[in-house]
């Protein structure tokens, strides 16, 4: 291959570019990104950056070693189309770039509340601009309603409490975090909200937002109205794959990939939040929207790409994420399912400092740690050593 284009200039794209050079690719390497900024780190956007204890400069993902990568940065340039078979990427300004290999790393975006565009005081959080706009609205004493008690919603609630806001979190499911952690442990972890003065309302959907020009509140499905000065919508992410319609690639909830990032076309691989790799633990495609996957998996995908679309056999580690809420570190690895046998291996749920394991047919399938970082590292290593089967 003489020319490779990486589309998406964030963590997964930069990791792919680094891996390409580390694996000996010496040709032209273009990195196309629709944001005008160089790659930056997103996890602090709901934590330290939102709290004002980290600056934009602190978010930079590149370091001095990256000067050696010889990348052709094409920033502020959205890809609008791909012909996967010819390796032609079309850009918003009508220009085209051709490459022998393509790495798709266009990530995901925050799902918005329908009809809320243009309503001041309603926020999502995905980019630096999103976080800066939200921070400007987080004034002590203001009433914040967070829709969705997932990790990002919980982190925003935690940061806003620290800044002195009156915070309510609304979650449609009966318990928060039931998807990733299961209802039992999700409920325990979510106890942190009420312990820190956040009101948590579960099992009730949101009917709509009120306000004319600026949001004034949130209507709940049970008829209640929550007055609000600021609303954060934290209801998940949508993969940025629309530009790939008609490209020849198989698309679903993400770019459908094999276990090595290979797509349905040999010269194209996909990585990071936009990619749904085959996960042997579930026997199907599974989109992982976590930082560590976007950092580590591109090395596997690049090896696949350089081998002509053949997965070289290195298995991806089980999905892993961390979340910082109310001064606690939550870490989770693996994929849990309802019915898994849960054991508290160490610590105390009441104190919210514990290590829990999930087993299926006696096999370790997932690990949760709350404020147990060293123990978690040990258990995660053990989880990685267990061959995953569906």
Ligand X SMILES: Cc1cc2nc3c(=O)[nH]c(=O)nc-3n(C[C@H](O)[C@H](O)[C@H](O)COP(=O)(O)OP(=O)(O)OC[C@H]3O[C@@H](n4cnc5c(N)ncnc54)[C@H](O)[C@@H]3O)c2cc1C
Which residues are near ligand X by CB under 6 A?
Answer: 7-13, 32-35, 42-43, 45-46, 78-79, 105-108, 125-126, 152, 240, 243, 272-273, 289-292, 294, 321-323
Residue pair 45/37 in contact (Cβ under 8 Å)? The answer is no
Min dist CB 91 to ligand X, Å, is: 8
Determine the Cα–Cα distance for residues 123 and 112; give it in Å rounded to an integer. 8
Nearer to ligand X by C-beta: 343 or 373?
373
In the complex with ligand X, which residue's Cβ is closer, 108 or 247? 108
**Residue 216, both tokens:** 């004034």
Query: Rounded to whole angstroms, how far apart are CA atoms 46 and 160?
Result: 10
Q: Check if the beta carbon of residue 301 is closer than 8 Å to that of residue 258.
A: no
What SS3 state is found at 143? strand
Q: Is residue 124 within 8 Å of 130, Cβ to Cβ?
A: yes
Residue 217 vs 319, nearer CB to ligand X? 319
Least distance (Å) from ligand X to the CB of residue 18? 13
| Closer of 171 and 289 to ligand X (Cβ) | 289
What minimum distance in Å lies between the beta carbon of 292 and ligand X?
Answer: 6
108 in Cβ contact with 11 (< 8 Å): no
CA angle 150, 153, 159 (to 5 degrees): 135
Which CB sits closer to ligand X, 8 or 261? 8
DSSP letter at 315?
P
Question: Is-contact 119 209, C-beta < 8 A?
Answer: yes
Nearer CB in complex with ligand X: 228/301:
301
CB of 207 to ligand X, least distance (A): 26
Q: Which of 374, 354, 378, 389 is nearest to 184 (CA)?
A: 354
Choice between 73 and 322, CB closer to ligand X: 322
| Closest of 257, 233, 234 to residue 12, by C-alpha | 257
* DSSP secondary structure letter of residue 316: P
206 has which bridge partners?
220
CB of 212 to ligand X, least distance (A): 29
Q: How far is the CB of 210 from ligand X (least distance, A)?
A: 26
Q: Residue 26 in 3-state DSSP?
A: coil
CB 331, min distance to ligand X, A: 9
The CB-of-117 to ligand X minimum distance in angstroms stands at 18
CA 14 to CA 66: how far, in whole Å? Answer: 9
Residue 76 vs 211, nearer CB to ligand X: 76
């Amino acid at each position: 291959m003489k020319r490779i284009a990486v589309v998406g200039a964030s963590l997964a794209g930069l990791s792919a570019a680094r891996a390409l050079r580390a694996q000996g690719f010496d040709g032209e390497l273009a990195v196309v990104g629709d944001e005008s900024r160089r790659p930056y780190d997103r996890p602090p956007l709901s934590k330290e950056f939102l709290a004002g204890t980290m600056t934009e400069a602190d978010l930079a993902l590149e370091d001095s070693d990256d000067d050696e990568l010889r990348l052709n940065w094409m920033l502020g340039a959205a890809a609008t189309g791909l012909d996967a078979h010819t390796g032609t990427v079309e850009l918003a300004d009508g220009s085209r770039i051709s490459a022998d290999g393509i790495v798709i790393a266009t990530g995901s975006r925050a799902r918005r509340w329908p009809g809320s565009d243009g309503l001041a005081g309603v926020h999502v959080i995905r980019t630096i601009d999103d976080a800066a706009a939200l921070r400007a609205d987080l004034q002590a004493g203001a009433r914040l309603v967070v829709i969705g008690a997932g990790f990002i919603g919980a982190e925003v609630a935690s940061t806003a409490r620290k800044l002195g806001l009156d915070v309510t979190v609304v979650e449609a499911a009966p318990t928060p975090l039931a998807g990733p952690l299961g209802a039992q442990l999700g409920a325990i972890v979510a106890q942190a909200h009420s312990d820190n003065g956040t009101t948590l309302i579960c099992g009730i959907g949101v009917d709509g937002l009120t306000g004319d020009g600026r949001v004034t509140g949130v209507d709940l499905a049970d008829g209640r109205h929550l007055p609000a000065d600021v609303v954060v919508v934290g209801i998940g992410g949508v993969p940025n794959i629309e530009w790939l319609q008609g490209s020849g690639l198989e698309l679903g909830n993400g770019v459908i990939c094999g276990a090595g990032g290979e797509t349905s076309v040999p010269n194209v691989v996909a990585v990071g939040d936009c990619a749904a790799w085959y996960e042997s633990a579930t026997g199907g495609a599974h989109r992982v929207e976590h930082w560590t996957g976007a950092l580590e998996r591109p090395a596997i995908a690049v090896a696949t790409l350089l081998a002509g679309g053949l997965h070289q056999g290195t298995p991806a580690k089980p999905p892993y994420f961390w979340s910082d809420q109310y001064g606690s570190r939550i870490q989770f690895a693996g994929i849990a399912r309802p019915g898994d046998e849960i054991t508290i291996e160490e610590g105390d749920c009441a104190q919210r400092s514990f290590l829990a394991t999930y087993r299926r047919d006696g096999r370790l399938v997932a690990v949760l740690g709350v404020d147990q970082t060293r123990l978690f590292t040990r258990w995660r290593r053990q989880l990685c050593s267990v061959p995953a089967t569906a």
